[in-house]
Every structure is written in C-alpha cells, then in structure tokens.
Amino acid sequence: MAEQNLEKLIGRFHPRRTYKSGEVTVEVDGVFVRVDEETRIENGRVFVPIEDFLQDSAIIRSARVSTGRDTLAINEKAAGLIGSLYKDSHVTPFEGGAMFRLRVEAPINIAQPFFQLPGSHNEFSGRYSVIDGEFSMPEHIQKNPEASEIFLEAGEDSKEVYKKFLDASMAKEQARFAVLFSFFTKFYWTVSLRHLLEICALEENKFAPRGFWDTRDRIFKKILEDWTPWAYDKFLEFPKVYKTRWAEEEADEEADDGIFTELVENIGSFRLDNCLADEKLMRRGVKTGPSPKRGFGHSILNFSLHYPIFVHRQWVRHRYGAWSELPVDFDGVVNGFDFYVPKYFREQIGKTMSYHYEDMERGKNTEMKTALLDLISRSIGRYWRMRQLGFSMADSAACLPYVFRIEALWSPNVEGLMNFFSLRCDSHAQWEIRQFAKRIYLLFARLYPWANEIFLKHINYGTIETDET
Ligand SMILES: Cc1cc2nc3c(=O)[nH]c(=O)nc-3n(C[C@H](O)[C@H](O)[C@H](O)COP(=O)(O)OP(=O)(O)OC[C@H]3O[C@@H](n4cnc5c(N)ncnc54)[C@H](O)[C@@H]3O)c2cc1C
C-alpha cells in the first residue's frame, strides 16, 4: 500500500523548470532535497531516491516529527494528513518542509510587489550592472497602435539618454535615472510552499498590478500543481480566501503632522509619525538569549517617507519592520513635477568592485542635468498622451523615468533600525539613501543615547559617516 501511494504521487509529479505568462518568466531553480548519507554517487552523478526529492513527502516528514514518526516512508495516510493540516491551518510543515528557489524575470512595475512578500530576494543591480534589453510592452498596449508608438518612442528616448550618461562615465547608480519604469529586472526569490499557498489564496485587489495577479494565477498555481500535487489538491478541496478588498473601501486617512518632518537635501523627506520607543523597556528586553539585541525589538518608530522610487526599492529590502507602499497618484506626481534631479552627478572611476566616485566637473554636470530634465519633460508629454488615449495612471507611468517620488509608511523596531544604520550609513550605500539613513540615525542618537552607545560599541558593523559624529 505504501508503495502504491508513492507511485501515485510520482505519477503526478512534473518537475518542470520554466513557466511563462505574458512578459513574466519564472524558473524553478531549486527545491529542498533531503540529504542522506546513503546517497549513491556514480560517475559524477548523484542518485537521490524520489521520495527525498518530492516536496509533498517533505511536508509529511515535517509534520510527523510531532509524533516521532518523521523517518517513516510515505504511507497510505500521507495525502490525507496533508489535507487535515491544510484544512485546519497547521501550516508550519508547509513552511519549513518545502521551499522553492524561483528565478523571476519581470518588468519592474510587475516585479515590485514581490518584494513585499515573505522570503529572501536577490536582485539584479542597476548600481553594478548596465540595464540592457527591451522595455515592457504588455499585450493591451501592443494592440493599440498609438499607445505602442508612444511606448517605442519612450524606449528609444530613454536608451539614448542612458547611453549618453554612461558614455560620460556617470555612476551607473545615477545613469539609471534615465531608465523607464518598465525595464526588466531579474531576481531569485526563495519562498516556502506555505507562503505560496497563502499568496494563491489572497483575494485579488487593485493594490498590486494586473500582471502580478496573472503571474500568481497562471504560474504559481501551475508550479504547485506540478511540484506538490497533493498539496495543490488540498488547496482546491479546502478553498481559503484571505479577504483583501475591504482595504480598497477604506477612506483615505488624512495624515496628521506627526512629531516632525525633515527634508533630506533635494532628495525627499521623512516624517516621524510616532514612536513607541522606551529605553527602560529596551534595557529590560536585552537580557535575553541567545541574541540580546532582539530586546531592542520592543521599541517601534513610525515613519512616513516621500522619496524617489529607486531609494524606496533599496530601502524596502529591510524586511524587519512593517511597510505600506501607498498607491501612487501619478497624475499628481506629473502635475507637481515630483521627480528627483540630483544637484551633482558623480563619475565612476576605476574598475568594478574597486571604483570610487567623484563629482562631475561643473560644465559637464550642467549638461547631464539638462539632459535628465529634458527627458523628464518629454516623458511627461507622453504620460498625458497615454492618459488622453484612456489608459490608466499605472499604464501611463511605464513611460516615466526611474526618478519619480512615491510615499511609503515604514515602521521598523530599533533592532531593525540598527541593522539599517549599519548598512545604509555605510560608505558602500548609495549616496541618496545614505542621506536619509544619516538623518534618521542622528534623530535616533538624540532620542535614545543609551541604545546608541550600545549600538556604536557593540552592534554597528558599518562605517557610520555623519557630519556630526
Ligand atoms: C551596499 C549594498 C548593496 C546591495 N546590493 C544588492 C544587490 O545587488 N542585490 C540585492 O538583491 N540586494 C542588494 N542589497 C540588499 C541586501 O542584500 C539586503 O536585502 C538589504 O540590505 C536588507 O538587509 P537585511 O536582510 O540585513 O535586513 P532585514 O531584512 O531588515 O533583516 C534584518 C535582520 O532581521 C532578521 N530578519 C529578517 N527578516 C526577519 C523575519 N521575518 N523575522 C525575524 N528576523 C528577521 C535578519 O536575520 C537580520 O538580522 C544591497 C545592500 C547594500 C547595503
């Protein structure tokens, strides 16, 4: 019976690698494989018993550890066990038991919501590499000759300015300001089966773009069906819907003044909305093991951020805290000329991994600034042409360069903040995000002198560079 059960599972297991929907490609780059000292290696090939490779049986082993039976082979009760775990939301075996390392290629505007999802992300960097390839042109744009003309024109214009910037030895991290909000990015996303199942059960809402939901429905569900057929059966048999549309109906809250607002150069601003940080509590909390710095986690600060998109996309990678990326009113961005144009452009001198930056000579700097300003003006023209054709703000924004500002709410705790300071006040961080990090650090140091002392002496692993230290 046990073998028959395993045979059935093997018959439905399709370890496909590549999945495509529209402009998004997802590859299953890796899954968990059970390690066994008995594993046979012959002529450079590893022979793994299929049971050790199947993700469904990994769920079962993770669940059976509670009763000490985790080493048992898959038996006739296995599929039923997956069902009862899923139905009753005992989902940690789906989290620790089965993992997928996915390689995703997607237009940046569709990829963005992925970085709000649980898991680990490693993304292509426009700071270190040249962004090449075409820009996104979704099917509904292709079908409209005027819109596709605008997209093509926007793409050519952007490529020309980007090239001009690179030819002027501009730092790649700034040259990418000329790239449109429709370039293709690539990243590895390591995510558990539990989280994939949760995402598949989310009620679709307007906070993420259509392309994201299509990817979820046409790719993620197919991956589950191919790689974890039993878990997928149970997902269908016991449907769950995590409601999300209620949030669309919430009236927009007027932000109050917060505690104070600080402008950060001409880059953007942050507002400290609230702080629930208490040094007494932190002092009590740090007496914990094995990692006492977790005690700093009891204190939380709330910030509203208004900053360029590229700064956001670096910042949002600090997962240890709550993030809300607020819907962007692109008409407002364009009307208010809410774009970042640096005062100074930097040249990148030297080879990869050992370069440094120098401010551009004045005449060259003015030329680059004019080129970026002109590109933004032409892009604004295209944005309105798209809007006049009846396209949504999100569709039209694909023609805007990568320097528009957005708003987000960020609530880190002090432990997460310390990690942020170590990494982002550091000289390796991009200058623009570093300016925010420095100012928030100075605020933190003033508010919490004891925590700051511990941070500087024992926790910081970066080079805090502030004008005041
Ligand atoms: C100079 C620089 C260059 C970079 N280049 C790239 C690049 O090319 N490509 C790229 O993809 N990324 C890049 N990054 C981003 C980087 O890889 C990290 O994603 C980012 O710095 C966030 O760091 P973190 O993971 O330590 O922060 P966090 O995610 O905030 O983690 C902070 C701490 O919390 C813990 N933690 C995290 N999540 C949880 C959780 N859910 N529960 C409990 N604890 C948790 C972590 O163990 C860690 O100790 C770069 C960052 C810097 C500073």
- For residue 146, report the distance from its CA to the centre of ligand 1, in Å: 42
Question: 320 CB under 6 A from ligand 1?
Answer: yes
pLDDT for the residue numbered 101 = 98
pLDDT for the residue numbered 78 = 86
Right CATH for 253-335+405-459 from 1.10.10.60, 3.30.1360.170, 3.30.565.10, 1.20.150.20: 3.30.1360.170
Per-residue pLDDT of the chain (469 residues; tens, 9 = 90+): 555 688 889 999 999 999 999 999 999 999 999 988 888 899 999 999 888 899 999 999 999 998 888 877 777 688 899 999 999 999 999 999 899 999 999 999 999 999 999 999 999 999 999 999 899 999 999 999 999 999 999 999 999 999 999 999 999 999 999 999 999 999 999 999 999 999 999 999 999 999 999 999 999 999 999 999 999 999 999 999 999 999 999 988 888 888 999 999 999 999 999 998 889 999 999 999 999 999 999 999 999 999 999 999 999 999 999 999 999 999 999 999 999 999 999 998 887 777 889 999 999 999 999 999 999 999 999 999 999 999 999 999 999 999 999 999 999 999 999 999 999 999 999 999 999 999 999 999 999 999 999 999 999 999 986 655 4
CA nearest ligand 1 atom 17, residue: 122
CA nearest ligand 1 atom 7, residue: 125
Cα distance between residue 409 and residue 244, in whole Å: 19
- For residue 412, report the distance from its CA to the centre of ligand 1, in Å: 13
Question: 460 CB under 6 A from ligand 1?
Answer: no
Residue of 120, 173, 319 with the most ligand 1 atoms within 8 Å of its CB, for mutation:
319
Question: 318 CB under 6 A from ligand 1?
Answer: yes
pLDDT for the residue numbered 166 = 97
Cα distance between residue 364 and residue 350, in whole Å: 19
pLDDT for the residue numbered 469 = 45
- For residue 420, report the distance from its CA to the centre of ligand 1, in Å: 9
pTM of the prediction?
0.95
Total Cβ atoms within 10 A of residue 368: 24
What is the number of the ligand 1 atom nearest to the C-alpha of 318? Answer: 30
In the chain, where are the structural domains located? 2-31+33-97+204-240, 253-335+405-459
pLDDT for the residue numbered 72 = 74
Question: 406 CB under 6 A from ligand 1?
Answer: no
CA nearest ligand 1 atom 5, residue: 125
What are the Cα distances from residue 14, in Å, to 17, 195, 329? 9, 21, 43
pLDDT for the residue numbered 3 = 58
Angle between helix 145-167 and helix 362-388 axes, rounded to 10 deg: 170
Cα distance between residue 163 and residue 176, in whole Å: 10
pLDDT for the residue numbered 38 = 85
Question: Do residues 177 and 400 make contact, with C-beta atoms less than 8 angstroms apart?
Answer: no
CA nearest ligand 1 atom 39, residue: 320
Question: 317 CB under 6 A from ligand 1?
Answer: yes
Question: 423 CB under 6 A from ligand 1?
Answer: yes
Question: Do residues 407 and 446 make contact, with C-beta atoms less than 8 angstroms apart?
Answer: no
Residues 6+ apart with CB under 8 A from 299: 275, 276, 277, 278, 281, 282, 413, 414, 448, 451
Question: 319 CB under 6 A from ligand 1?
Answer: yes
Question: 429 CB under 6 A from ligand 1?
Answer: yes
- For residue 396, report the distance from its CA to the centre of ligand 1, in Å: 32
What are the Cα distances from residue 81, in Å, to 62, 181, 297, 428, 447? 11, 46, 37, 49, 52
